[in-house]
Structure 1
Amino acid sequence: MARVSQEHLDARRRQILDGARRCFARNGFHATSMQDVLREAGLSAGAVYRYFRSKDELVAAIALEVFEEVGGAFEAVSRSEDPPPPGRILGEVLRLVLGDGEEERVPPPLLVQVWAETLRSAELAEALDKGYARVREAWVRIVGAYQRRGLMRDDVPADQVARTLIGVAQGFLLQRALFGAGDVTDLENGLLALTSMRPPDDPAGRADGAPEGPPV
């Protein structure tokens, strides 16, 4: 009997996850059955259960993929001594998660459902905590680089800035999930405008207490 290649196994797993992702995005986790996933993926029950024993395992696998990609993307940027502005970083990562094609790779409603599922799943909650900590640590390093270069005031702890920037991205995804509006470019431009604010009465063109230098 011929051995099945790892490439084939990986492709079959990808097929199942993509089918489950479409089902969950369309109908939600709780309204989707494993039979729905089988039909969407075009596979038999035996083929699917070889990889995932339950719907909860599918949910966890999709969530872990997203957490891993997002964490890795931010960590890559954080290793630079001259990171790009916050809006550009968030824009690149959001495009990685959402995708640029007609069909969103990970639709925002699905992300919101994953967040909600962490309230009932200890496994997902642990994964989300680790993912959040990873992204937060990366942002702290990025903000530190801004501060060292004189691009951002250094009297505010980097961790506070990091949590705020994470909140901006989460808020953007929530708005997109609830209202279906908003492009990643809107977020980039909005952050550019916010981070370039200057008090009108500052003759030096600097924010109060901020070091000299171009805005981030």
Structure 2
Amino acid sequence: MDFETFNFRNALAILQYRPEWGDLRSVIGTMTREMIIDKQEEIAARRQRPKGAQVATNALFREKLSHSPWQSESRLFEQDYLFGNSKTTGWKMDFLIRGDPLTEGSSTDFGMGVEIAFNHAEAIPWTLIRMNLAAQFEDVRRESRIDVGIGIFASEAFKSWGRLDGAAGTFEQAQRWLSISRHAIPTPILLIGLRPRDDESARDWDPTDAFPGTGKG
């Protein structure tokens, strides 16, 4: 699968030579139309058929990023900061990976957080805030702190191909949100917009009837 990016606060300059970024790029680049459709059919065989491609795509990301050295569902805080209940886990980062420090001699290893965001458009600001907190807030668990955040969204083209609900947020909307939040977010963030075409050939994916859609939007 191909993708486009929006580079905020020089995130790409930091990530350019990082093996963690190379790993994520490989995961996206090797994801194909057939893989998403096959996963959709696999899910539909054991439950109600999902309306859009986001369920199958999410499942593929979880399969590929739920192994070491990746961490999934990493808690940001020791307890729920909103309600003070130690039995709840509060906010989590979808995926997180750690690597060698950014600077020689640093005692803090590099952290890259990844959010897969196919949610309602109203959730976009919270996705950005969560990544910013993971980088800036001193009470975040040490093992969950990040240096760069990556938000993965459906582009308008992928939203159409995968028949996502009309209310689902997109890469283009996230880009606008991040731009107007510039003064409130000091964290380097890279936005990724998934595109329905092959990475190497740049060939657009053919339409499919695997996703019935919601009829909304």
- Interval of TM-score (by shorter of Structure 1 and Structure 2): under 0.3
More helix per residue:
1
More strand per residue:
2
TM-score (norm 2): 0.25
Bigger relative contact order (CA 8 A; separation at least 6): 2
TM-score (norm 1): 0.25
Larger radius of gyration: 1
